Amino acid sequence: DAGVIQSPRHEVTEMGQEVTLRCKPISGHDYLFWYRQTMMRGLELLIYFNNNVPIDDSGMPEDRFSAKMPNASFSTLKIQPSEPRDSAVYFCASSTWETQYFGPGTRLLVL
Protein backbone atom coordinates (compact mmCIF):
# COMPACT_ATOMS: atom_id res chain seq x y z
CA ASP A 1 0.00 0.00 0.00
CA ALA A 2 1.22 3.50 -0.81
CA GLY A 3 0.16 4.86 2.56
CA VAL A 4 -1.72 8.09 3.06
CA ILE A 5 -1.19 10.44 0.14
CA GLN A 6 -1.35 14.21 0.47
CA SER A 7 -1.06 16.95 -2.10
CA PRO A 8 0.42 19.38 -2.59
CA ARG A 9 3.49 18.81 -0.41
CA HIS A 10 4.23 22.52 -0.32
CA GLU A 11 1.99 25.49 -0.89
CA VAL A 12 2.89 29.17 -0.86
CA THR A 13 0.04 31.61 -1.27
CA GLU A 14 -0.88 35.17 -0.52
CA MET A 15 -3.23 36.31 2.18
CA GLY A 16 -6.82 36.22 1.04
CA GLN A 17 -6.38 33.41 -1.45
CA GLU A 18 -8.22 30.12 -1.28
CA VAL A 19 -6.17 27.06 -0.40
CA THR A 20 -7.24 23.46 -0.96
CA LEU A 21 -5.37 20.55 0.56
CA ARG A 22 -6.05 17.02 -0.59
CA CYS A 23 -5.81 13.61 1.01
CA LYS A 24 -6.19 10.02 -0.12
CA PRO A 25 -6.46 7.65 2.85
CA ILE A 26 -5.22 4.08 3.00
CA SER A 27 -7.66 1.79 1.25
CA GLY A 28 -10.02 0.09 3.69
CA HIS A 29 -9.58 2.64 6.44
CA ASP A 30 -12.89 4.09 7.58
CA TYR A 31 -11.56 6.95 9.71
CA LEU A 32 -9.88 10.06 8.34
CA PHE A 33 -8.32 12.85 10.37
CA TRP A 34 -7.00 16.32 9.59
CA TYR A 35 -4.34 17.74 11.92
CA ARG A 36 -2.36 20.95 12.00
CA GLN A 37 1.16 21.17 13.42
CA THR A 38 2.88 24.37 14.52
CA MET A 39 5.82 25.05 16.79
CA MET A 40 3.67 27.04 19.17
CA ARG A 41 0.67 24.72 19.48
CA GLY A 42 2.05 21.34 18.55
CA LEU A 43 -0.27 18.84 16.89
CA GLU A 44 -3.95 19.82 16.83
CA LEU A 45 -6.86 17.75 15.58
CA LEU A 46 -9.02 19.84 13.28
CA ILE A 47 -11.73 17.40 12.20
CA TYR A 48 -12.30 13.72 11.70
CA PHE A 49 -14.61 11.59 9.59
CA ASN A 50 -15.99 8.10 10.00
CA ASN A 51 -17.35 6.40 6.88
CA ASN A 52 -17.17 9.76 5.07
CA VAL A 53 -19.32 11.51 7.69
CA PRO A 54 -17.83 14.34 9.78
CA ILE A 55 -17.92 13.28 13.42
CA ASP A 56 -16.21 16.10 15.26
CA ASP A 57 -15.19 19.44 13.78
CA SER A 58 -14.73 21.25 17.08
CA GLY A 59 -11.05 21.73 16.31
CA MET A 60 -11.66 23.71 13.15
CA PRO A 61 -10.41 27.16 14.11
CA GLU A 62 -12.86 29.33 12.21
CA ASP A 63 -15.51 29.35 9.54
CA ARG A 64 -12.74 30.03 7.05
CA PHE A 65 -11.87 26.34 7.37
CA SER A 66 -14.00 23.61 5.81
CA ALA A 67 -13.47 19.94 5.10
CA LYS A 68 -15.26 17.43 2.94
CA MET A 69 -15.05 13.74 2.26
CA PRO A 70 -17.13 13.00 -0.85
CA ASN A 71 -16.08 9.35 -0.94
CA ALA A 72 -13.98 6.81 0.91
CA SER A 73 -10.83 7.58 -1.04
CA PHE A 74 -10.68 11.36 -1.03
CA SER A 75 -10.91 14.31 1.34
CA THR A 76 -10.21 18.02 1.09
CA LEU A 77 -9.43 20.72 3.61
CA LYS A 78 -10.16 24.21 2.35
CA ILE A 79 -9.15 27.56 3.77
CA GLN A 80 -10.93 30.58 2.36
CA PRO A 81 -9.69 33.25 2.75
CA SER A 82 -6.26 32.28 3.97
CA GLU A 83 -4.35 34.32 6.55
CA PRO A 84 -0.67 34.35 7.57
CA ARG A 85 -1.53 32.70 10.90
CA ASP A 86 -2.74 29.66 8.97
CA SER A 87 0.87 28.90 8.06
CA ALA A 88 1.57 25.41 9.38
CA VAL A 89 2.04 21.81 8.36
CA TYR A 90 -1.28 20.08 7.74
CA PHE A 91 -1.41 16.32 8.14
CA CYS A 92 -3.99 13.84 7.06
CA ALA A 93 -4.20 10.49 8.85
CA SER A 94 -6.37 7.42 8.42
CA SER A 95 -7.16 4.39 10.54
CA THR A 96 -9.42 1.43 11.03
CA TRP A 97 -10.31 1.33 14.72
CA GLU A 98 -6.95 1.44 16.42
CA THR A 99 -3.81 2.93 14.90
CA GLN A 100 -3.66 6.17 12.94
CA TYR A 101 -1.29 6.35 9.98
CA PHE A 102 -0.13 9.75 8.85
CA GLY A 103 0.57 11.21 5.46
CA PRO A 104 3.69 13.24 4.69
CA GLY A 105 1.92 16.54 5.27
CA THR A 106 1.39 19.76 3.36
CA ARG A 107 3.60 22.65 4.39
CA LEU A 108 1.53 25.81 3.94
CA LEU A 109 2.98 29.30 3.93
CA VAL A 110 0.60 32.23 3.68
CA LEU A 111 2.35 35.50 2.90
Partner 1 sequence: AQSVAQPEDQVNVAEGNPLTVKCTYSVSGNPYLFWYVQYPNRGLQFLLKYITGDNLVKGSYGFEAEFNKSQTSFHLKKPSALVSDSALYFCAVREYGGSQGNLIFGKGTKLSVKP
Binding site for partner 1 (CB under 8 A): 4, 31, 33, 42-43, 45, 48, 50, 55-56, 91, 93, 95, 97-105, 107
**Residue 76 beta carbon to partner 1: minimum distance, rounded to whole angstroms:** 18
- Report CA torsion sign: 71, 74, 80, 83: positive
Q: With respect to partner 1, which residue has the nearer C-beta, 31 or 74? A: 31
Q: With respect to partner 1, which residue has the nearer C-beta, 19 or 36? A: 36
Q: Which residues, other chains included, contact 44 with Cβ-Cβ below 8 Å and sequence gap of 6+?
A: 35, 36, 37, 38, 59
**Residue 46 beta carbon to partner 1: minimum distance, rounded to whole angstroms:** 10
**Residue 31 beta carbon to partner 1: minimum distance, rounded to whole angstroms:** 5
**Residue 98 beta carbon to partner 1: minimum distance, rounded to whole angstroms:** 7
Q: Which residues, other chains included, contact 90 with Cβ-Cβ below 8 Å and sequence gap of 6+?
A: 6, 21, 34, 35, 36, 37, 77, 105, 106, 108
Q: With respect to partner 1, which residue has the nearer C-beta, 71 or 99? A: 99
Calculated CA dihedral for residues 41, 76, 24, 85, nearest 10 degrees: -20
